[in-house]
A and B are shown apart, each in its own frame.
Chain A
Amino acid sequence: MNETILELKGISKSFPGVAALRNVDLRVDRNEILGLVGENGAGKSTLMKVMIGFHRADEGKYILRGQEMSLSGPEEAIRVGVGMVFQEGSMIPNLSVMDNLFLANERGFVRWPLLDRKRMAEAAREQLEAVGLGSLDPRTLMRDLPASRKQMIEIARLLWLSSHYGAENPILILDEPTTVLQASETEMLFSILGELKKKASIVFISHRLEEVVLHSDRIVVLKDGIVVADAPQAKAEVRAIEMLMVGHELAAEHYRESMQGSPSGEVVLSVRDLAMTGKFEGFSLDLHGGEIVGLVGLLGSGKEEVCRCLGGSESPSAGKISIRGRETRFNSPKDAIAAGIGVIPIDRRNEGLATSLDVANNINLLVLARMRRGLFLSPALERKSALKWIGEVMIKTPSPQTACSTLSGGNQQKVVIAKWLAAEAGILVLDHPTRGIDVGAKDEIYRRIRELAAAGLSIIIMCDTLEEDIGLSDRIVIMKDGRMVRDISCAKGAKPTPVDVISYVV
């Protein structure tokens, strides 16, 4: 019963600037559901990708059914019975369910030169039955199905592939399978997984702790690339796991807390009962001058959409936004820029920066009107403005004419900040400003954020970890399932610990 199918020993994996996994040991047993939890950036995804051969570990052993091996990629992984259902899905929308199920493996159905569609449909029905979709017509197009069904079909494909290749007791890895599901669908998923584990092992990643504790046979907790706990379900407790996930205490000075000021009394941005159908509702917030407010919540909590509404890239379905007492409506990001709201997006390479342009062009992008002399842009004015902000924000660049693509992540982030400062934005929305930036550069970003606040800018921030949110913010607003659930003060010297807060989040 407790036979080990897959064993990872001493796995380490680094990406430039980040050690994603450090000496991780993990085993997957026969017929079990293994829950894998950890905060964003704890290394869960990397670990999964090592399991399916998508990433090659820098160090460590990969032992499958007692044999040490080294996978060339996901394609080989499924041949030996290790498959993963990705969050973004891998089914082709314009093909039918059965075409997707057997895609690239139709050989068994070929009666040369034709495909035996009837036999494919029969085989597909059989596979669908195993995942509780016996009533689904296998000729249905994938794009006509809801996300929950697509996921089950992906599972069916992996099961079929592994049996096709003769891999016994396959390992199915599910990456946050429940984020796209309604409550009833989640129940359904787990009852099917309970059935499937009779002939497979399931590794299941989730943010939702209750779920994991309820449905897993064993739980592994990752923190900062290290396995901090590996416990059978009977011994697992939500509270204890929360503690393990977020770590023990806050290293105060880590977030430049000594520089934390106190916000002014003036309400710069006032949001009342903002809502977006199906995403969030009843969001109200008063943002003061020089205040940093952390917006905390899981994926799907609605916080991303709130920020997009504030940045003008999406329109709320109800509610009011006022800036310095004046009610405004944003129909596009342009309106938000004009109102003084700057957004620093998570994906700065694609959304925040024109990486093929040089530093000066990026900094001046929003203020080109001010760079004009007569009809034409004045190179002298552009240069002057660029040099001013390069100095001000301390961007390390050989010259203002250097292409942004050649700068480090930290310096790219500073270019984005400089752009908004040049545009005289009074409110900044920072979407994971330290994502993918190494530790040293992070500190500088923290200091920069503090200085911006001290200069009177109001900031809404979404961070990589709860610790960072609490450490940086004057106040955190917690969202869950589209609603605001708590508004917690994080004043200097009187910050809550992540453990105090996390139970509101998950």
Chain B
Amino acid sequence: MSETTGSGGAAGGTLGAVSPGARAAAKISSFVSKGMNGQIIALAIVLAIFAVGTNGLSLSIRNLQTILSLAGIPLVICLGIHQVVIIGAMDLSTEGVISLCAVLAGFLIKNPFNTNNMGLWVIPVALAIGGLAGLANGLINTKIRMPSFIASLGLGWVAQGFSVIAGKGNAVKMLDIRFQNFTNGELFGIPNTILIALALFAILFVVQHFTKLGTHMYAIGGDEALARQAGIKVDRVKIIVFVITGCIYALAAILLVARLASSNPRTGWNQMFPAMTAVAVGGVSLSGGVGGALNAVFGTLIVTALNNGMVLMKISPYIQNAVNGIVLIVAVALTIDRKKIGIIK
């Protein structure tokens, strides 16, 4: 396998008589290596440091499973945010939208407060709610022409407020144990949450690289004015991306509710920071147009391994917070394209 990858890689862009397998391998390796070396090295360094620091405990099969199961939900959220970052926008409504979707879902699944029992049908309903929040973000950004980080910050607080009003602030216990069984389950030793996240990754990867929508997303992230000039319906693409992101938040909300077997207006809290850090650490440039779903995966793995390692080494949570903050700033500093921004406000 490694041999064919090597020869395919060496053949580069020429149209030589390379076997189909080798060509596919070269194609995959070209996606992986496209600016991803830094992330692979960073992941290796993080794993190595903690392997030494914990006397190899961090690399045990058991702990690697833990990392994967911890990474599932952050990866879903990260995949949501990174879509918006690719088009050069920002979405800070994450936590509010997740909380709202969680509380509403909590009241629709079998619960002690009412007689609702929607079962799996709660999933499309929640996705619709998340999608509506995304639609609002997109419309405020494109039609009222408001910077997306402000539009989404405001909308996130609106959603957060509604989540309290909708449930009168109560925590809602989930009585439908199918959800819980599923999220805590695993397939061949791989946690189900990470499998869902990886399925989402696969879908977004294909969308980004093999569809019109994906091409247009990168064009807008690269240069919105030129994209418009070329005839791309910029507003429509941006709104679609915000809607997809909103739906992904709803998916994250359901996974969170299922894992905790309960929902409350604080379900979304503290979910955005790790995901945002993962976006930046993965190499998705905040200036737009650079990086994709694969970057989100690596970013999430790095951030999760880092936090898991710090826990194993019994580092104070306050220092953990500080480390995460520094990682975010350094990662953004390394990936942002300052030429494109001109004046930093």
Contacts and interface: CB of A to CB of B under 8 A. Distances in A.
A113 interface: yes
Given A75-B231, A137-B13, A92 B226 contact: yes
Contacts of A139: 13
Interface residues of B, number: 20
A117 B223 CA distance: 22
B41 to A, nearest CB: 22
Contacts of B289: 92, 94
Contact of B218 (A95, A114, A115): A95
Nearest to B340: A93
B13 A94 contact: no
B78 interface: no
Contact of A92 (B206, B219, B231): B219
Interface residues of A, number: 22
A93 B222 contact: yes
Interface stretch (B96-104, B112-120, B150-158, B209-217): B209-217
Contacts of A300: none
A107 B221 CA distance: 21
Given A95-B215, A110-B212, A90 B13 contact: no
Nearest to B14: A137
Interface string B71-95: 0000000000000000000000000
Contact of A115 (B215, B223, B231, B290): B215
B230 interface: yes
Interface string A87-118: 00011111100010001111100100111010
A115 B210 contact: yes
B219 A99 contact: yes
Contacts of A91: 226
> Which applies to chain B's interface (DSSP): helix, strand, loop or mixed?
helix
Interface string A69-101: 000001100000000000000111111000100
Contacts of A95: 215, 218-219, 222
Contacts of B222: 92-95
A92 B221 CA distance: 9
Interface in B191-229: 206, 210-212, 215-216, 218-219, 221-223, 226-227, 229
A90 B219 CA distance: 11
Nearest to B86: A94
> Which applies to chain A's interface (DSSP): helix, strand, loop or mixed?
loop
B206 A94 contact: no
Contacts of A113: 211
A74 B211 contact: no
A90 B210 contact: no
Contact of B230 (A103, A114, A117, A137): A103
A90 B225 CA distance: 9
Contacts of A117: 210
B232 interface: yes
Contacts of B221: 94
A137 B14 CA distance: 8
A103 B13 contact: no
Contacts of A140: 13
A115 B213 CA distance: 10
A93 B289 CA distance: 9
Contacts of A92: 218-219, 222-223, 226-227, 230, 289
B210 A103 contact: no
Interface of B: 13, 206, 210-212, 215-216, 218-219, 221-223, 226-227, 229-232, 289-290
Given A104-B231, A115-B210, A115-B212, 4 more contacts: A93-B223, A94-B221, A99-B218, A139-B13
9 closest cross-chain pairs (CB), A and B: A137-B13, A104-B231, A94-B222, A94-B289, A92-B222, A103-B230, A104-B232, A104-B230, A114-B210
11 contacts: A90-B226, A90-B230, A91-B226, A95-B222, A99-B215, A103-B232, A104-B227, A104-B231, A105-B231, A115-B210, A137-B13
